[in-house]
Amino acid sequence: MRKLITTALALFALLCLSTVAFAAPPIKIGGLFAVTGPASFLGEPERNTAQMVVDEINKAGGVKGRKIELITYDTSGDATKAVQLVNKLIKNDKVVAIIGPSTTGDSMAIVPVVERAGIPLISCAAGSKITEPVKKWVFKTAQNDGLAAARIYEQLRKERKTKVAILSVSDGFGSSGREQLKAQAKAYGIQIISDDTYGPKDTDMTAQLAKIRGSQAQAVICWGTNPGPAVVARNAKQLGLKIPLYMSHGVSSKKFIELAGDAAEGIRLPSGKVLVADLLPKSDRQKGSLLAFIKDYQNHYRAEGDHFGGHAWDAVMLLKGAIERGGDTPAGIRNALEATRNFAGIGGVFNFSPRDHAGLTKDAFTLVEVRKKDWVLVK
């Protein structure tokens, strides 16, 4: 009798196991985004987009017949929290790959964890140091800020302007941009004659700008995210600063024009192509992805898709491609990711290689100018 029961149980257990195998469990992907906190302007569209893209992939039958399950957590832009949550994703949720986090600080904090665990990470943050030097398991989709700096310098060189003043915000984004600007200046024959900072919550930058006005600078480059640069734009107008004002890609959204108002006129900035998708020539390889993303986002969230969402779009689509080609194990995904070539996404055309886990060139940015409260391409 006992033998019978044991056999029945064993059979039952076997049955359970096999049903699981037949139903093909979903592929679990982790998402870490700063949905609340100071970086929420990054995290919220990223999470929204990631969820939207995953839902669409699932609706279309999943990846090789298997659904994707996206498990997202909110880091609030807090590195300590990010580390706790990444451990949770790896140990409890057993994800095979992770997208995010939204900020450079969060990303750097979790890099050692994913490296140790051997889980591929596609960061949505911009700091170059995330993938320089190359880390085996870490990739990123946001354009390196170095590329944006290069794009500005290229334009300055074209206009034969050699003396610039830098005004950067004193947080991770600003200091990384500042380093890039300083590091690349020489290559473009540019001399930085003034290098100032402002606090992320500062409300008046006239002191710094007055100092710049008194210098020999031929252009100002302000590196920050809203609302600081809008204050800089307003203060520059108040002081009657005559030299051109360049911003970073950190403010490339309509919100900046709204905040800076009339003071935004004439300001130039390097921007991902989402902003100007409809202005791009037909020959642009990203145009298809861009328009599709913008339309989708509009339908889902009644808001304009921005490049922050775009970073998550790229991350999910890159993962999808990698799983299709490399299978659903972390190692397979990583190897397939590294072999990704010519993927025309939102942030640019990605070409990963063992030596480059950021995958973009400075063509990922176009230079735009604010004219009549809208963007135009700078030729």
Q: How far is the CB of 228 from another protein (least distance, A)?
A: 10
CA 114 – CA 138 distance, rounded (Å): 8
Tokens, residue 38: 């100071």
Binding segment (CB under 8 A) for another protein, from list 59-67, 229-237, 244-252, 284-292: 229-237
CB of 74 to another protein, least distance (A): 13
Q: Write the DSSP assignment of 260-305 as a string of letters.
A: HGGGGTT-EEEE-GGGGGGGS-TT-TTHHHHHHHHHHHHHHHSS--
Query: Of these, 93, 154, 192, 227, which contacts another protein (CB under 8 A)?
Result: 227
Specify the residue, 206 or 361, whose C-beta has the smaller distance to another protein. 206
Name which position in 51, 58, 84, 170 contacts another protein (CB under 8 A): 170
Minimum CB distance to another protein, residue 168 (Å)? 10
197 touching another protein, by CB under 8 A: yes
For position 239 contacting another protein by CB under 8 A, the verdict is yes
- Does residue 237 belong to the site contacting another protein (CB under 8 A)? yes
* 3-class state of residue 53 by DSSP: helix
SS3 label, residue 122: strand
Q: Which of 250, 243, 208, 204 is nearest to 225 (CA)?
A: 250
* Residue 134 amino acid letter: V
Q: Which residue, 190 or 259, has its beta carbon nearer to another protein?
A: 259
Q: Does 258 bind another protein (CB under 8 A)?
A: yes
Residue whose structure tokens are 């929204």: 48
Give the one residue of 6, 238, 298, 353 binding another protein; rule: CB under 8 A.
238
For another protein, which stretch binds (CB under 8 A), given 80-88, 208-216, 276-284, 295-303? 208-216
The answer to whether 373 contacts another protein (rule: CB under 8 A) is no
| b/e map 115-144, b = 16+ CB within 10 Å | eebebbbbbbbbbbebbeeeeebbbbbbbb
Please check whether residue 119 is in contact with residue 138, taking contact to mean a CB–CB distance below 8 angstroms: no
Q: Which window, 52-60, 193-201, 279-287, 322-330, contacts another protein (CB under 8 A)?
A: 193-201
The reply to whether 255 sits near another protein by the rule CB under 8 A is yes
